[in-house]
Amino acid sequence: MAKRIAVVDVDLCVGCQSCMFACNRRFGEAGIARTAIFVQSAGGFERGFIVKVCRACKDPPCAKVCPTKAIMERVGGGVRLDYKKCIACGNCILSCPIGAIFWDEIIKKPTVCTYCGYCVNYCPYGVIRLEELK
Amino acid sequence: MISNVLHIDLSNKRFWIEERSDLFKEWLGGIGAGIRLLHEDCPKNIDPLSPENPIIFCIGPFNGIYPLASKTVAVFKSPLTKNLGESHAGGRCGVAMRMAGYGGIVIKGASEKPIYLVINEDGVKFRDASALWGMNSSSTVGRIIREREAGAGVRAIMRIGRAGEKLIPYACVITETFRHFGRLGLGAVFGSKKLKAILIHGRSSIRLSDPRLYRNTYDEIFNAVIKSGAMKKYHDIGTSLNVLPLNISSSLPSRNLQAAKFEGAELLSGENLAEKFLGRRAACAHCPVSCIHIAALRIPYENEPYFYKTKMIAYDYEPIYSLGCMLGIRNPEGFLKLVDIVDELGLDAISTGVILAWATECMERGIIETKDADNLVLKWGDYETYIKAIKKIVNLENEFYEALANGVEHASSLYGGREFALAYGGNEMPGYHCGLATHIGFAVGMRHSHLDNAGYDLDQKINAEKKFISIEEIAKALFEEESWRQILSSLVVCFFSRKVYTPEMISRCFSAMGIKVEPSELKIKGMKILKEKYKFKIREGFSFDNVRIPKRVLEIPTPQGLLREEDIRRGISEYKKLIEAEL
């Protein structure tokens, strides 16, 4: 079954960004330049936080605008990104209305959630969880 | 390994990057690298508000790599004590500096016109800040810069309030609205350079020599923190959890330490504030603890029925002590309003509270009259008058407020009331009256801060176990703790994680980065860094022999009973022997 990272309750988020660092650690690297999940304040800490991550939509706009078919629809929802085909045009980033496709500063190509769930292990407050797509 | 130091010359609006792996190799980073840079860049005996005074920000090898390495160390010459200035802040600046690629930032010179800086991987942009100068609210300044500049989510915005512009020597620098380079007047040094704010942002990814060991070590630290009691304590209630235990043990200075107990402690306790006001918790970047507690205070508009504004105000133990207990404030709303004005104007909360407490006692005793205070009657608990007084301090309204604006050491040298002017080494005293180690610790600590050597923590242990420990042992314990804390502040990890970052753990963290550091050599390095700080203090005229011990401290019993001056003095001289001994 296809899975996705669900944002359960964004108001539980404290903005520690541990999920972002975790995503980057998938490559064995420290930092945040390669993360596919992003946390930022909703206009200052006092207003709380926003968590941006691919919600694995059923009819993904990013796949529609990819000129090389590098972004392909995944069975059950969401996408898969084939870096060999990707020409780094950035159309997918512009097309995602929730801003859940990011730029990998190291390989200079877009990056999107692979639904692996690694980040979830580092959220102590239950903001995000790995769930089966219905 | 971090190695780049970004130099910024505000006079000529220039910057350059210097490769200093020598510095970070020998001195780790943070305070270790920072104090060396201060020796290099701060000429002897300068006026702290002159362009020559450098502002130095340093992070350490763990920032951006390991969790809870979320702090930044600022080093400068303090306009308050005219000696070593060192202040730490959390928020996002430590990680932002690392992600922008800098281990250190050294700012010298002064701009003619107000400016703010935007720092990223490409260097520095100098932006006009004339339109931001003189604004009443430091949070508005943050909001404007946030709207105007890039880097949302991965940036830090440090800024000063009007107190910094007015060169109040205990003005702070605020970062991410709720964290502070609070103590010793960094805000005034910013102000003297016409530097209103600094935005830092960056994104990078760092390859480590042993990725597997890195991930494992990371997990070990992360899990240890998550499962530790400290995490729960700082997350649930925060540092204000200390209010009730300190009060019960008669260690909580109130009304200018006329007592070590406060009848309003219950109302200002972390438990009560959380229950009635807690609106949100927030975390520093890369720290799951999230100890930042932000109250939501609903304030009605006076002339408009059914209309309210909600202010978000962060609180911690220290402001509860200084702006609450020390001023006899029993009303939590009033206390929060005091924190708010202090934050908006950009003053250090501890210094402000201690100074006002001194002024209030002076008024009680008739040393200061109402007419001196521009017709304000300072009274314990009267937060509305205190708010007016704080504004008058920042406006330097008259001779009296100008005196208050220069710290309690200075004000009491003009007006008297020295015996109850609570400061050590010119820095207003933190909120602990736990016993002998506490006060020896304040006197000898290189910043005269409770965090230097945590004497209060040692006392609390002594008091709980009801054991006797000699003055020599106290001095040794403080010296060792202060030495070790230099390592933590060089890495730079939060003190809340000190039980997790043991010498062995630190050594393992370095291994994953391909750096060999023996646990045993860390201890020696800590002492070396501490000595570098002491050298600077001596260079600028400090002497342990001249540290003033406020009489008041000796008049009010601690849990260990009344303290004797000769015991504190003996502790100081024992500590002096240790720090002056050869390594």
Residue of A nearest to B92 (CA): A16
pLDDT by residue (tens digit) across A70-81? Answer: 999 999 999 999
- Considering only CB atoms, which chain B residues are within 8 Å of A33? 99, 203-205
Alpha-carbon gap: A75 to the closest alpha carbon of chain B (Å): 31
Q: What's the complex ipTM?
A: 0.97
- Considering only CB atoms, which chain A residues are within 8 Å of B222? 18, 122
Q: How many CB atoms lie within 10 A of CB B212?
A: 10
Structurally, what CATH architecture does the domain formed by B255-417 represent?
Answer: Orthogonal Bundle (1.10)
Number of domains composing chain A = 1
Could you tell me which of B268, B135, B154, B132 has the C-alpha nearest to residue B203? B154
- Considering only CB atoms, which chain B residues are within 8 Å of A24? 205
For residue B176, is pLDDT > 70? yes
Q: Mean pLDDT, to the nearest integer, of B527-537?
A: 98
10 Å CB burial of residue B43 (0-12, 13-18, 19+) is exposed
B551 close to B255: Cβ distance less than 8 angstroms: no
pLDDT by residue (tens digit) across B254-313? Answer: 999 999 999 999 999 999 999 999 999 999 999 999 999 999 999 999 888 899 999 999
The distance of Cα A74 from the centroid of its chain, to the nearest Å, equals 15
Cα–Cα dist B343/B335, whole Å: 12
Asked if the Cβ–Cβ distance from A29 to B211 is below 8 Å, we say yes
Asked if the Cβ–Cβ distance from A105 to B211 is below 8 Å, we say no
Cα–Cα dist B497/B220, whole Å: 13
Residues spanned by the domain of A99: 3-126
Give the gyration radius of chain A's Cα atoms. 14
What is the DSSP pairing of strand B205-207 with strand B123-128? unpaired
Please report whether residue A60 resides in a domain: yes
Could you tell me which of B220, B218, B230 has the C-alpha nearest to residue B289? B230
Alpha-carbon gap: B92 to the closest alpha carbon of chain A (Å): 9
* Number of inter-chain CB pairs under 8 A, A vs B: 106
* Residue-level pLDDT at B230: 72
Q: How many CB atoms lie within 10 A of CB B196?
A: 30
CB within 8 Å of A76: residues ≥ 6 apart: A1, A2, A56, A133
A9–chain B Cβ distance below 8 A for any pair: no
pLDDT by residue (tens digit) across A36-48? Answer: 999 999 988 989 9
List Cα–Cα distances, B44 to B48, B444, B535, B537, in angstroms. 10, 22, 12, 11
Please report whether residue A42 resides in a domain: yes
pLDDT by residue (tens digit) across B102-131? Answer: 999 999 999 999 999 999 999 999 999 999
B575 close to B441: Cβ distance less than 8 angstroms: no
- Give percent of chain A above pLDDT 90: 96
B428-580 is classed CATH 3.40.50.2300? no
Asked if the Cβ–Cβ distance from A28 to B214 is below 8 Å, we say yes
Domain coordinates in residue numbering, chain B:
4-201, 255-417, 428-580
Length of chain B: 583
CB within 8 Å of B322: residues ≥ 6 apart: B349, B350, B351, B352, B353, B354, B357, B428, B431
Both tokens of A132, joined, read 């089966």
What's chain B's average pLDDT?
97
Q: Mean pLDDT, to the nearest integer, of B84-88?
A: 98
* Residue-level pLDDT at B583: 62
Q: How many CB atoms lie within 10 A of CB B567?
A: 16
A116–chain B Cβ distance below 8 A for any pair: no
pLDDT by residue (tens digit) across B383-424? Answer: 999 999 999 999 999 999 999 999 999 999 999 999 999 999
CATH number for domain B4-201, candidates 3.60.9.10, 3.30.390.50, 3.40.50.1450, 3.30.200.20? 3.60.9.10
Comparing B1 with B211, the larger pLDDT belongs to B211
A28–chain B Cβ distance below 8 A for any pair: yes
pLDDT by residue (tens digit) across B318-376? Answer: 999 999 999 999 999 999 999 999 999 999 999 999 999 999 999 999 999 999 999 99
Cα–Cα dist B365/B406, whole Å: 21
10 Å CB burial of residue B219 (0-12, 13-18, 19+) is middle
Please report whether residue A134 resides in a domain: no
List Cα–Cα distances, B521 to B27, B61, B187, B469, B529, in angstroms. 12, 16, 36, 28, 12
Report the first-to-last Cα separation within chain A, whole angstroms: 9
The CATH number linked to A117 is: 3.30.70.20
* Residue-level pLDDT at B512: 97
Helix axes B408-415, B349-364, angle to 10 degrees: 20
- Considering only CB atoms, which chain A residues are within 8 Å of B212? 28
DSSP 8-state code for residue B235:
H
Tell me the sheet residues that pair with B106.
B7, B56
